[in-house]
Amino acid sequence: MKQFDVVIAGGAMAGMTLALALDSLSQGRLSIAVVEPFVVDHQAHPGFDSRSIALSYGTVQILKQLNLWGDIAPVATAIKHIHVSDRSHAGMTEIDHQDLNVSALGYVVELADVGRLYQQKVTQSKQIELLSPEAVTQVKRTASHCLVTLKSGEQVQCKLLVAADGAISSCCQQLGIELREHDFEQVAVIANIRTEQPHQGRAFERFTEQGPVALLPMSDNRMSLVWCLRPERAQQVLQLDEQAFLAQLQHDFGWRLGRLTQVGARASYPLLLRYREQNTSHRFAIVGNAAQTLHPIAGQGFNLGIRDVASLAEEMMNSLDDVGAYSVLSAFRQRREADRIGTITLTSSLVHLFSNDYLSLRIGRNLGLALMDNLAPLKAPLLQRTLGLVAR
Ligand SMILES: Cc1cc2nc3c(=O)[nH]c(=O)nc-3n(C[C@H](O)[C@H](O)[C@H](O)COP(=O)(O)OP(=O)(O)OC[C@H]3O[C@@H](n4cnc5c(N)ncnc54)[C@H](O)[C@@H]3O)c2cc1C
């Protein structure tokens, strides 16, 4: 039977980042396996699909510490300016990179690009074994080890099993770790868009009574759309032809980028908060979407997940002989508590505050946005989290 220090279930953003982080921080002293059912570059990979995501300033700092940013930077587009507004109302706020003395507020990457880069780096590493296509089907634990059974029937042994296997997490299900869910009753419609005016590094988020619509700057002057809508309307816009789709989007988004001229392939994601209060168990840790899956309203999902990954990797470095020791898991759990609760609460409150049309809330949020624009200290807490500058 193969033996590893750590087995990571799930080879998407969280799992692959963790494997590469551990390899880099331990300078090759840990044996690592990543188990993933889907092969990169096959259209079906659910973790490296057609989505683009915004990496916050703080995430980029972590990726630099882990020696990963150098590879990602060439395929990333800088966000220089963020513009937040409320449809048909006056409230709005703006943040510019110069106000904060940083070269960029964050960067947009296409997950498919990151998947290819990560795959290359993992393949080059002597210490990481990618078991793919393969899946974790059963987990058994003794005092000193985890025994992991894979779909092929093969068994592997490790000192620590990390669940990075997404919102449903069959590893967590196996171990009976409770999942809490809240349905936001919204669906995110995503697509790449072309606009009449160049984006010049500007990102836009606009609140409508259906949900937020965001346009993020991408390479080649494209923009990445995340359009959150009630499920019935999402179904309807997904079926529209290109011109009708663009007309409805223009109506919701407005004219800040001139005419919206082209839309690429569309995809959709039902939006639920999924959250596991417990993020550790005996010889077991949970990171990324498996620990918490958020609404994309503030682009916090992976930006929170990478803080799980970095804190776990750092704690494991304190116990290289036994990376699954109780001391490692206990320190990891404590380090992650405040940030997880804070980010989940902030994200969910934003969804409820901004996704409806009650007059009182509308006035409140417009005042809020206007105040935020005038009073720098009010911007600060939201901004700190948006920038990913959070203690972990
Ligand atoms: C529309 C949208 C926009 C978003 N925008 C942003 C953004 O701007 N910024 C941001 O930070 N985040 C954003 N996010 C969130 C971000 O995409 C996710 O947080 C991140 O990609 C999650 O990565 P993950 O590796 O934790 O989980 P997943 O991507 O869910 O990966 C889980 C992996 O586990 C594998 N797996 C499943 N079962 C098993 C098993 N039994 N054994 C082994 N492997 C298994 C799966 O095949 C998959 O590859 C957005 C999300 C959406 C939906």
Average pLDDT on 379-386 reads 65
Q: Which ligand 1 atom lies nearest to the CA of residue 48? A: 29
What is the average pLDDT across 22-41? 95
Q: What's the gap in Å between 358 CA and the centre of ligand 1?
A: 33
Q: How many CB atoms lie within 10 A of CB 335?
A: 19
Tokens of 187: 């669906």
Give the residue-averaged pLDDT of 323-342: 96
Give the chain's mean pLDDT: 90
pLDDT at 212: 85
Mutate to test the pocket of ligand 1, among 36, 62, 284, 303 (most ligand atoms within 8 A of CB): 36
Residue 239: CB atoms within 10 Å: 10
Distance CA 82, CA 215 (A): 10
Say which residue, 267 or 366, is predicted with more confidence: 267
The pLDDT value recorded for residue 367 is 53
- Confidence band for 200, pLDDT divided at 50, 70 and 90: very high
Q: What is the largest CA-CA distance in the chain?
A: 64
pLDDT band at 27 (very low <50, low <70, confident <90, very high): very high
What is the Cβ-side half-sphere exposure of residue 333, based on CA atoms within 13 angstroms? 17
Q: Is the CB of 165 under 6 A from ligand 1?
A: yes
User: Average pLDDT for residues 16-41, to the nearest whole number?
Assistant: 96
pLDDT tens digits for 15-24? 999 999 999 9
Confidence tier at 379 by pLDDT (50, 70, 90): low
pLDDT of residue 94: 84
